Structure 1
Amino acid sequence: MTTDHRAQVDELLADYRRSRDQLASVQRELAGVTATATSPDGAVTATVGARGSLTGLELADAAYRLRPGQLAQVILRTAREAATEAAERTYRVLGPVLPAGTDPEALVRGTADLRPDEIAPPPQRRRAVDDDDEDFEQRDWLNVETSGGPR
């Protein structure tokens, strides 16, 4: 191997090691991303990880004065707020290491290189009236005769 080739190989290996170190650093930063939000009344505090998964939930005494449905809504709103902040932090970690013009949010969502028509859900297929499939929503299960069942 000539000296020029050896120098190129050494340079490529050094670039690879720098890239790998940078990736490891980004992975550590991403693993450490968390966000916490507290409801306006202070009743609920939610903490989420980088992917928006709930990792902590604190309920103040005021939370127990809420009706169950209200409490559930406050928890969901507060967790969503924390997840939004965690996502923003994730985008800030990724932004500097992505190629110019790459949208970190679209990359995380998995839509970075997709067109809107590729992301849209497929159209719903309408059932024909004469489909062989039964419509189980309209079935009265109490009056159906089955072998060995009530008549």
Structure 2
Amino acid sequence: MQESLEQRLARAQAELEATEAAVARIESDLTAATQTVTSRDRSVEATVGPQGNLTGLNFLDNKYRTMSASALSAVVIETVEKARERMARKVVTAFEPLAGDISGPSGLGQLDLAQMLGVSPDEPRNARRRSAKPLHDELHEDL
């Protein structure tokens, strides 16, 4: 027996309301989320909010006093970038259950949040950085 149009609309409306409620819960949870990362040399600690905005930057143990300006800049940029990548992965992971297959009548197909945000939940940390020239060299060359 085929579903009537009213039954399909009611089911679609219920699914939409459930999805909207799930999105609201996730957004509420992420509103207060932060991600803190400490640099490899333990000289800098960066904290970002759910949208990747820098919310805190700490210089640890006065190590920055012995660093050159270009080295300190490179460590800050690398640490903030790492915190943003981790936060983006956290956001992707939170929304993944809702992304899935959205083919439906619109025919949109798979929604890949990781690709949209430019991160891969499976990508090892610093995978992109290893293939690129070290950041401190780039800063040094620009000076």
TM-score bracket relative to the smaller structure: 0.5 to 0.7
SS in 2 for 1:33: coil
Q: Normalized per residue, which structure has more helix?
A: 2
SS in 2 for 1:18: helix
1:104 aligns with 2:90: no
* Same amino acid, percent of matched pairs: 24
Q: 1:1-151 residue pairs with structure 2 within 5 A?
A: 14-60=14-60, 61-100=62-101, 101-108=110-117
**How many Å separate the matches in 1 of 2:98 and 2:15?**
14
Return the TM-score normalized by structure 1: 0.59
Q: Structure 1: give runs of 5+ residues left out of the alignment.
A: 110-151
Over alpha carbons, which structure has the higher Rg? 1
CA RMSD of aligned residues (A): 2.5
SS in 1 for 2:41: coil
**How many Å separate the matches in 1 of 2:11 and 2:114?**
33
Return the TM-score normalized by structure 2: 0.61
Cα shift at 1:31: 2.1
Spell out structure 1 runs of 4+ moving beyond 3 A.
4-17
Q: Structure 2: give runs of 5+ residues left out of the alignment.
A: 102-109, 119-143
**How many Å separate the matches in 2 of 1:12 and 1:105?**
26
Q: Is the 8 A contact 1:46 1:57 kept in 2?
A: yes
Q: Residue 132 of structure 2 corresponds to which residue in structure 1?
A: none
Amino acid at match of 1:40: R
**How many Å separate the matches in 2 of 1:93 and 1:105?**
11
**How many Å separate the matches in 1 of 2:10 and 2:21?**
16
Cα shift at 1:106: 2.4
